[in-house]
Structure formats: C-alpha cells, structure tokens
Amino acid sequence: MKKLLLGISLVISLGLIGNFATEAEAAKKAIVWRASSSWTAGPGHQESAEFFAKTLNELSGGRLVIKKMFSAGELMGAMEVPDAVSAGKLDIGHSSLRYATGKIPWCHYFCGSIAQSIYGMEEHLLWLWEGGGIDLFNDYMAEKGIMNIIWLPAAMLESEPLWTIKPVRSLEDFKGLKIRASGPNKDFYDRMGCAAVSMPMGEVVPALERKVIDGAEFCVPYTDIPAGLHEICPYVLAGYLHQPSASLDVYINKDSWNALPDDLKEIVKDTAKLATFWHLTYMVDHNMKLMDKVWGKINVTVADEKIQKRAYEIGEEMAADDAEKYPIVKEALKSQREFHNKFSKYRKFLPRIYRD
C-alpha cells in the first residue's frame, strides 16, 4: 500500500513539476504587447479597453500578453495613440479612428457616421465583419501605405446625444453654436451652422463652465454623465443626428501583427468580437441605470423631422464630396449600398411585433 501511495505521489509531483515547467516555458515565450488607450481612467471607455486586454490575455492562454492598458495621459495624450502605434512605440492602441483623421480623413465611412450608406448598430457590425468592411479598410491602408497599422472595431456605440447649455429644438437653434465634436463630426456640425471644435473629453467640462463652448457631443450616458455634462448642460438633443452608430477601435502595429502566428491573429479578432458584445450589453445596461437617475433633472428633446431630414441631407452632401476626393469612399459606399439592399430585403422577411 505504501508503495502504491508513493507511486501516486511521485506521478502527481512529476505532473505538477511538468505543469510548472510548462507555465514557466510559456511565460518565457510569451509575446508582450505595449498598449495604451485614448480614454480617461475610470468608468467608461477605459473599462472597455481594459476588458479587451484582460480577455486577450485569457483567450491566448498567456501566449500574447498586455500587462497594462495605460489610460490617456499616463504614457501619452489621447490623440497621440494612433501615431504611436503606427510608429511602433505601441504594439496596440484602444482608440477611435476619428483620432487619426489627419491621415485618414475618410475614416468615418468605416467607424460610423450619417454619411455612411448603412444604418444602425446591427447593420454596421454585419457590414464590417461579414460584408467585407474591415478587409476593405485594411487592404486599402496597406496598398497606399497610409499608416503602419491593422484596424479592428472592438466596441459599438449607440447614437450620441448633444448636450447644450441652451435648448436646441429646431434647425435655427444650431446657428452659431460652439460645439465640441471630433473628427468628421466637426464637418457635420459646421454644415448645420455651428462652430465646431475638437478637444479631449478631459477639457470639455472646464470649457463648458467658462462658456468657451455652448455644448458637446462625446458619447453615451455612461461616459457623459460621470464626466458631469448633465450638471452643466440641462438640455439634451437625442436622435440619429451625425452618427446612427459608431465603433471604438483597436489599432495594431502592422509589424507586431505580422510577427504573430495565424492562430494568435484569430484570437485577437475573436477578442475584438467578444469585447464588442461585452461593451454593447454592459454599456447599454449602465446607460439605462444612469439615465434613471437624471430623468426630470434634464430636458430631453428628440430631433424633429426637419432636423433629421437636414441631417440626412448633410450626410448625402458629405458622401458626394468625399467620393469625389477619395476613391476609397466611392468603393465603401458601393459596398455598403449593396449590403444595405440585401439586409433591407431580408429584414422585410422577418415579422415584427409592434407594441406601445
């Protein structure tokens, strides 16, 4: 009996030693990526960035590791992340394509805007992952040598409300408003008659307090309310304005990407998909909870038909202008329209239940 127990103990010990050795070997061989986000630390987008890092570490079994997802300001400023990834200072960044509009002025036809020919989160996600949108973007970037990156959407957002110090209830109310917006959204608000400016979210509240700006659109309630926009801006304009849906994105340095074996590349893609699903469910739930706390304290207006019509017209104007300047926009719009036609036809096949 003693011999049997000793034999079992020896087998277990050898197994444990083997496991420790395997884990130690894996740790030695692990690929470690340096990462930063464009988001302020705390609740909001940084949580999504950290979820991405944690999930990648787990799904890769420790073979591909992000030890820390730095927030904006820890390593660099929010707007510096895309260029840092392209230059190889970072292996990966969690950011927004809109933060790279200097080099990619047509990016909103992929990450989301009223100028797209697809509408809403479901259709947007389908086109990106199944309709060829991601490949179209990355292939064009590689062909033209625009930035040394691979792009993947890693979260999807609902339409962004506009928070203002004074009410915006009609087209006329847009005239002369100083609005914080980013990337191509600035063009949209300028065409609506506003004077749009870009600034990181951390600067928005002080600018509103000093009345340097009259309002801001940043994201959704879960980011906007913790930032304190509702305390300064009692008026909210909701509705599909410049952006029926939008992605948050990961930039991956192309050299870092090419160094990965194929199975790890697939794991990075799977991580982006899982992070998108997590962000959708987690963020919408928190949006509802936070809005429950501020109903009655803010004045919400849903954009009327005239505002929505003008927004759609501006989207068509932007698309026409950009298609003339950038061949990729013409290609993206063609792809989106073909996908939208199929999607719309399929949608009619599905019965809907209408309730009050």
Q: What is the pLDDT of residue 47?
A: 94
Q: Decide if 36 contacts 75 (C-beta within 8 A).
A: yes
Four-residue CA torsion sign, 334, 335, 336, 341: positive
Q: What are phi and psi of 220, to 5 degrees?
A: -120, 170
pTM for this model (two decimals): 0.84
Q: What is the pLDDT of residue 337?
A: 96
Q: Give the tokens for residue 256.
A: 């870092």
162-244+293-341 belongs to CATH 3.40.190.10: yes
**Beta bridge partner(s), residue 32:** 65
Q: What is the pLDDT of residue 356?
A: 59
Q: What is the pLDDT of residue 154?
A: 97
Q: What is the pLDDT of residue 61?
A: 97
DSSP 30: -
pLDDT in tens, 307-325: 999 999 999 999 999 999 9
Residue whose token pair is 């197994």: 15
Q: What is the pLDDT of residue 120?
A: 86
Whole-number Cα distances in Å, 305 to 171, 241, 333, 340: 10, 11, 25, 23
Q: Give the tokens for residue 27.
A: 């740790």
Q: Do domains 2-103+130-156+247-287 and 162-244+293-341 have the same CATH topology?
A: yes
pLDDT < 70 positions in the chain:
1-28, 352-356
Q: Which CATH architecture has domain 2-103+130-156+247-287?
A: 3-Layer(aba) Sandwich (3.40)
Q: What is the pLDDT of residue 11?
A: 46
Q: What is the pLDDT of residue 19?
A: 47
State the DSSP string of 315-352: HHHHHHHHHHH-HHHHHHHHHHHHHHHHHHHHHHHS--
Write down the domain spans for the chain: 2-103+130-156+247-287, 162-244+293-341
